[in-house]
Amino acid sequence: MRSGALGDFVLTLPAINTLRHHFPQAQLGLIGRPAYLRLAQPTAVIDQDSAALAPLYAPGPLPATTRNLFAATDFILAYAVDADGVLTAHLNELAPHSLVWDPRPNPDAEQHIVDYLLAPLEELGLAAAEARPYVYLEEKDRAYAANLWQEHDFPGKLIALHPGSGGTRKCWPLAKYLDLAHALKQHHIHVIFLCGPADEVLIEQLAHKPFPLICPPTPLQLASVLERVALLVGNDSGPGHLAAALNVPVVALFGPTDPRIWQPRGPCTGIIRAPDGQLASLSVDLVFEKCLNTLDLQSAPSG
């Protein structure tokens, strides 16, 4: 069970894959936001807003509709806040083994969130199968991006800019993203902007700018776009974690949040943190140089 935003789910993938590794014959059911859950290709998906789940969070006996969802379930891992213990008690009724783990990390521990989310499994003796998220796309998942590239005739080397995030304090100003886009264009690097379904204000602000604006409606379609770009530049947000899980280079901009806990884990990730926690103080020149350096690192021959 894992609620939260896109990034929260992507960062939980190592725990999901650890369960798969230790129990390869078991069926995997996931509870959360269905669009996010499909990134993990589970056996079954249950919407976290299903009415049948509501009794799990209230005292009293569980109805048959709730019990039926967990029929033949052997183990339940719930990443949830359970201050009153009601959820824990109910899950203990539904499966021989269950565990509720608060998904909120301790900021003083400076432990990366992936390691923190793996900790309950390690306490059960289930060693982590991998210490970073991975997302694998099937050919059918790539159709959305393939059509976009054909429609717009995008070049091979392309940088995607994602100016959105879950909170305004975590966002580098849009004006600076646009200045960065112009600087990259002058460097003969093609740029697109990415927005999500919740970025209505940004979509309106970018609608008439001289750069392509792509708004994938689902996480899988977003993944198909990210898989094709040479670099993603964005704030501390879900697309950065998704790009890293696809082995795409990322430049992530951090303000009030701690990159030691929240930075994307990938093969080529550049982090810039505003020293005063105020993203507006980050200069375009600094981010521009980080973009070029990250691209150079990615293209450098290994060994």
Distance of CA 216 to the CA centre of its chain: 15
Q: Mean pLDDT over all residues of the chain?
A: 94
Question: Token pair for residue 235?
Answer: 């704030």
In the three-class reduction of DSSP (H, G, I as helix; E, B as strand; rest coil), residue 10 is classed as: helix
- For the chain, percent of residues with pLDDT exceeding 90: 88
Q: How far apart are CA 224 and CA 240, in angstroms?
A: 14
pTM above threshold 0.85:
yes
pLDDT tens figures, 162-201: 999 878 899 999 999 999 999 999 999 999 999 988 888 9
Cβ neighbour number for residue 90 with a 10 Å cutoff: 25
Task: Determine contact, residues 266/244, Cβ cutoff 8 Å.
Answer: yes
Task: Determine contact, residues 66/55, Cβ cutoff 8 Å.
Answer: yes
Give the residue extent of every domain in the chain: 6-123, 139-299
pLDDT at residue number 58: 97
Q: Which of 235, 282, 257 is nearest to 110 (CA)?
A: 257
Q: How far apart are CA 26 and CA 276, in angstroms?
A: 48
- Tell me which CATH code domain 139-299 carries: 3.40.50.2000
pLDDT at residue number 297: 63
Q: Which of 224, 246, 240 is nearest to 135 (CA)?
A: 246
pLDDT tens figures, 253-297: 999 999 999 999 998 999 999 989 999 999 999 999 999 999 876
Alpha helices in the chain (DSSP H): 6-10, 13-22, 34-37, 64-69, 86-94, 113-123, 143-152, 174-186, 200-206, 219-226, 238-245, 259-262, 284-299
**Average pLDDT of 7-15?**
98
